[in-house]
């Protein structure tokens, strides 16, 4: 019987520019050659390089949705003398009117800020009524905003200032804030010591942003520190910051580095300038993400003026203000108190510590798409016990799972007073809006906050006691509350 040989076809091609034809083998070799040519074509026609601006944040891909606030920030500012607001400005004003106003003896309501004079706050409520309140009755108005872009100057007290840094020399940092004008000086100069560092290029991921800004504030190094975009770190002495170049003396001697290569600069540990007398301070948030701890705030005739504890004063349009929260008035935040006891019962084996003014993951507190400045972050099952000694009349808080839960998780919040349960929530799931509580604490000596497992076990149970606060009894003097508690503030 004759042997049948497999049929093999050879393909012969003549390409333009080649003098002789060439043959391609059949079968798998032919298929491999086709994929090789397609890959080569992709390399030759693909982008060879990309460009970035060193002062812009690395934003992740997002759905293309219209944001009135972002639109206002990215567009040129309107003239102060203009009587006609742009469409974006009108929308921003309408959004500000819906900002929540939280007072001690009233249900939360939507309101727009009208004026602040001698610690008296006046708002226009969503039903077009005027409401006045004193500093002692004021808890919070609005929410801090996320950053739209950098650079961000981090101050020693945790304040965050969105500003261009034109230069630094002789231990003074010269900044140009986006939405603030320095009062009494041509430019704003901050001494190194009051300024903890500068982030030139914000990381694209929210988690990385939070941790970088926290690091600059909470972990001052013994030497100046450069954080490069490629992940390298250089320690030494920062000499100057110029328009495009930073001059630095490192282990190998003086060098000049293009600012486009730098992620952030952290100034070495120094004693901050005198902050003035202690007292009630107020966090002031602007629509570009700026968040400043002010010693004084005045709002009159659609203009706002704020003075920092170190004596630096700024002025801005009233409509730039989106958030106010006093620290050190009669409201006592649990995150400013040391718990008597913390107990954690793992569902399996992983142990979670509790966090003050942060979620249990260490990020900033975020629930319902909004950032909160104060609160406690825990994971189920956890309990925090506080010794109250009968000094308080009320406990108030908002309960939610952190946005870091990604819409997952479920937890049950419980409150015990002197060992007796006085509140238990239904299961609160990831993505649920924050739930407000207001509980009687009269003569309670021991308070216990418990976050228990929900129907889904402990999966993604990043639980937040948002703005958890105690209201002192009228006949008992409250303990002193620090205006700069650990972990509070812009960071």
> Which segment, 12-26, 259-273, 422-436, is predicted with the most confidence on average?
422-436
Residue 224's φ and ψ, nearest 5 degrees, are -60, 145
What integer is the mean pLDDT of 318-340? 96
What integer is the mean pLDDT of 64-79? 32
What integer is the mean pLDDT of 416-421? 98
d(CA 396, CA 373): 15
| Pairing mode of beta strands 313-317, 303-307 | antiparallel
Chain segment 362-382, per-residue pLDDT in tens:
999 999 999 999 999 999 999
Distances (CA, A) of 312 to 252, 321, 455: 37, 18, 52
CA nearest neighbour of 273 among 162, 171, 192, 213: 192
d(CA 38, CA 42): 6
Quote the pLDDT of residue 371. Answer: 97
Quote the pLDDT of residue 105. Answer: 80
Quote the pLDDT of residue 476. Answer: 65
Least-confidence region, from 3-12, 316-325, 326-335: 3-12
Quote the pLDDT of residue 399. Answer: 98
SS (H, E, C) 238-303: EEEECCCEEEEEECCEEEEEEHHHEEEEECCCCCCCCCCCCCCEEEEEECCCCEEEECEEEEECCE
Higher pLDDT, 89 or 275: 275
Residue 462 has pLDDT above 60, yes or no: yes
d(CA 27, CA 403): 54
Which residues, at least 6 apart from 9, have a Cβ–Cβ distance to it below 8 Å?
26
Quick one: what percent of the chain has pLDDT higher than 70? 76
Assign 322 to helix, strand or coil.
strand
Residue 27 has pLDDT above 60, yes or no: no
What integer is the mean pLDDT of 447-462? 93
Which residues, at least 6 apart from 318, have a Cβ–Cβ distance to it below 8 Å?
113, 299, 302, 303, 304
Assign 405 to helix, strand or coil.
helix
d(CA 220, CA 225): 9
The pLDDT mean for the chain works out to 82
Residue 193's φ and ψ, nearest 5 degrees, are 125, -50
What integer is the mean pLDDT of 34-55? 42
Higher pLDDT, 484 or 279: 279
Q: pLDDT confidence of 420, banded at 50, 70, 90?
A: very high
Please, are residues 268 and 82 in contact by the beta-carbon 8 Å criterion?
no
Does this model's pTM top 0.85? no
Please, are residues 400 and 365 in contact by the beta-carbon 8 Å criterion?
no
Higher pLDDT, 409 or 1: 409
Please, are residues 161 and 178 in contact by the beta-carbon 8 Å criterion?
no
- Eight-state DSSP code of residue 319: G
Residue 206 has pLDDT above 90, yes or no: yes
Residue 14 has pLDDT above 70, yes or no: no
Quote the pLDDT of residue 457. Answer: 86
């Amino acid at each position: 019987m004759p042997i049948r040989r497999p049929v093999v076809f050879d393909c012969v091609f003549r390409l333009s520019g080649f003098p002789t034809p060439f043959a391609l083998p059949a079968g798998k070799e032919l298929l491999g050659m086709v994929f090789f040519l397609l890959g080569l074509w992709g390399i030759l026609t693909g982008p060879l390089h990309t460009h970035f601006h060193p002062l812009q944040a690395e934003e992740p891909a997002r759905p293309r949705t219209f944001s009135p606030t972002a639109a206002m920030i990215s567009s040129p500012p309107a003239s102060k003398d203009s009587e006609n607001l742009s469409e974006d400005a009108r929308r921003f004003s309408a959004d500000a009117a819906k900002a929540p106003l939280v007072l001690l003896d009233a249900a939360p309501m939507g309101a727009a800020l009208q004026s602040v004079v001698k610690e008296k706050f006046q708002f226009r409520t969503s039903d077009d009524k005027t409401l006045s309140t004193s500093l002692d009755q004021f808890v919070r108005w609005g929410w801090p905003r996320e950053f739209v872009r950098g650079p961000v100057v981090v101050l020693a007290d945790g304040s965050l200032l969105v500003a261009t840094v034109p230069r630094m020399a002789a231990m003074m940092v010269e900044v140009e804030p986006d939405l603030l004008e320095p009062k009494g000086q041509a430019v704003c100069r901050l001494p190194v010591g009051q300024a903890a560092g500068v982030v030139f290029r914000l990381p694209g991921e929210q988690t990385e942003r939070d941790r970088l800004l926290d690091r600059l504030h909470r972990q001052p190094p013994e030497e100046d520190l450069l954080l490069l975009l490629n992940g390298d770190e250089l320690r030494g002495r920062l000499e100057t910051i110029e328009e495009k170049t930073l001059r630095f003396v490192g282990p190998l001697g003086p060098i000049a580095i293009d600012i486009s290569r730098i992620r952030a600069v952290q100034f070495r540990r120094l004693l901050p300038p005198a902050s003035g007398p202690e007292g009630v301070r107020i966090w002031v948030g602007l629509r570009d993400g700026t968040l400043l701890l002010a010693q004084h705030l005045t709002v009159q005739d659609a203009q706002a003026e704020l003075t920092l504890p170190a004596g630096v004063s700024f002025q801005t349009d009233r409509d730039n203000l989106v958030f106010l929260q006093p620290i050190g008035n009669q409201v006592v935040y649990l995150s400013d108190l040391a718990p008597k006891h913390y107990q954690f019962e793992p569902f399996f084996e992983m142990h979670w510590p509790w966090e003050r003014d942060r979620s249990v993951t260490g990020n900033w507190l975020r629930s319902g798409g909004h950032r909160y400045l104060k609160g406690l972050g825990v994971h189920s099952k956890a309990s925090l016990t506080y010794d109250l000694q009968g000094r308080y009349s009320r406990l108030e808080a908002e309960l939610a799972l952190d946005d870091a839960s990604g819409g997952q998780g479920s937890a049950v919040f419980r409150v015990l007073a002197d060992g007796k349960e006085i509140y238990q929530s239904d299961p609160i799931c990831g993505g649920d809006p924050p739930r407000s509580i207001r509980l009687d604490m009269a003569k309670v000596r021991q308070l216990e906050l418990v976050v228990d497992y929900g129907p889904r076990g402990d999966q993604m149970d990043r639980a937040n006691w948002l703005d958890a606060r105690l209201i002192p009894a009228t006949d008992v003097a409250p303990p002193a509350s620090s205006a700069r508690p650990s972990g509070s503030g812009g960071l």
